[in-house]
Every structure is written in C-alpha cells, then in structure tokens.
Amino acid sequence: MFRLSPSPIDSKKIADTLVADESGAIITFEGRVRNHQDGKKVLALEYEAYEDLAMEEAKKIIAEASQKFKVQNIDCVHRVGKLDIREIALWVGVSAAHRDAAFQACRYVVDEIKARLPIWKKEYFEDGTTQWVNCQEKSRVH
Amino acid sequence: MPEQSEKAVHVRYFAILREQRGLVEETITTRSATAVELYAELQARHHFSLSQNFVKVSVNNTFQPMNTPLHDQDLLVFIPPVAGG
C-alpha cells in the first residue's frame, strides 16, 4: 500500500500494523529532513506530488518488489507540504518471514520511489534562497 | 508533411514549471503534433528554464515517450526531474 500524507507520519503506529504471526522480520526505513545540503544550512523542505500518477507508479513498484523478493507486506507513506527539520518525509515498512528478503525489498522500494515517483522537493535555505532539487542547470537528466 | 489539425489539450503544472508558468492548469489550443513539440511551444512562450532533455511527460496519467502524438482533450503533465524521499 502507498499513500500521500499532508500530516505528520506516525511511524510507530504504522509499523505496528505490519506485525503478524508469520513475520520473522520487519524492516522499516525513515527518510527524515536534515538541516544541511551541499554545505548550506537547510531550514525546511516542501514536497509536491502529482497524486494520480504517483499512486499508479507506486503500485507498480510495490508489485515489482513483491515479485522479486519473498515478502509478506509492504507499506509506504510519503509526506507532502512543508516539513520541518527532523520530520519524516518517506516511510517504508516491509514484513517477511526472513530478514534477507525484507532488507532487500525495503532497499528496492526506497530507491525506486526516489527515482520514479512524480514528487518534487523544494529546499528552503537559511540565507533566504530556495531551490527545486535536481531542477538546476547542472542537474542530471532523469 | 500533412498540416496538423488544431486540438485542445489540458496541461497541469507542478513544482518548478508551476511556478514559472504561474498557473496550476490550463487548456491550450495547439497545432503541435507531439508532446515534445508542445513543450517547445510552451517553453518558448513562458521561458521555462528546463530544456526538453530534462523533462518527461505523462499523458492521461501514464508516462509516455516525449514523441507521443497528441489528441484532442488529452491531459498532459510535463514532469520535471523528480526528488522524492
């Protein structure tokens, strides 16, 4: 399951929903807002999503991970809106019978979400400037 | 080349393109035959900073190649480089 959340993510509450008799391993990932980027002090981040396409693409990613790895459940939440330092921007949780599959699937889902979902991030710096990440002249082609 | 007929397409803007356009969405009447032609048309008109090599396109909520043909009433979203997570 994947969803976008305009309100703070309660990671403990969601992680508890993955607990099951058959799950010997639960791996969770929290992507949090840090206070620096390329030597500049960051005050906040703002996330914007194209929801219809993000939901479709996330479904594909979860289906791919479920096929590649022997997992039981995959749950993901991505924040939208303006986030303060330390807040959770992306939460991914995976349950499996054994740890290897859970670790690998969690890594796969996080990497693919970052690479493929139509979600954009704006950095607010301490010096008053802002920038959309990866959208500057020197950015890589995606 | 056959003359391209005029069509109306809906365009939604996100992130840097939304800010540079100053709009969330609009309906455009165009003779552009493909998504990449329409992006060039909009880029010239609104001075978008991202060249077409940096942009992907979604047509009717599905990723498509930039040379995908346009049809009347299509919903287009040009996707700037993403940065989720």
Contact B59, A95 (CB under 8 A): no
Which residues are registered as beta bridge partners of A124?
A44, A130
Residues in A closer than 8 angstroms to B77, CB to CB, are 50, 53, 118
Nearest residue on chain A to B12, alpha-carbon basis:
A50
A21 contacts chain B (CB < 8 A): no
* Predicted TM-score of the model (pTM): 0.94
Is the ipTM of this structure higher than 0.90?
yes
For the residues A119-142, what does the mean pLDDT come to? 86
Of A132, A109, A119, the residue nearest A29 (C-alpha):
A109
End-to-end Cα spacing for chain B: 45
Q: How many of the other CB atoms lie within 10 Å of CB of A117?
A: 26
Residues in B closer than 8 angstroms to A142, CB to CB, are 54, 56, 81-82
B85 contacts chain A (CB < 8 A): yes
Say whether pLDDT at B35 is over 60: yes
Say whether pLDDT at A139 is over 80: no
Say whether pLDDT at A141 is over 70: no
What average pLDDT is seen over chain B? 96
Distances in whole angstroms, Cα of residue A14 to Cα of each of A3, A93, B4, B40: 12, 8, 52, 44
Q: How many of the other CB atoms lie within 10 Å of CB of B10?
A: 14
Taking only the tens place, the pLDDT of each residue in A68-112 is: 999 999 999 999 999 999 999 999 999 999 999 999 999 999 999
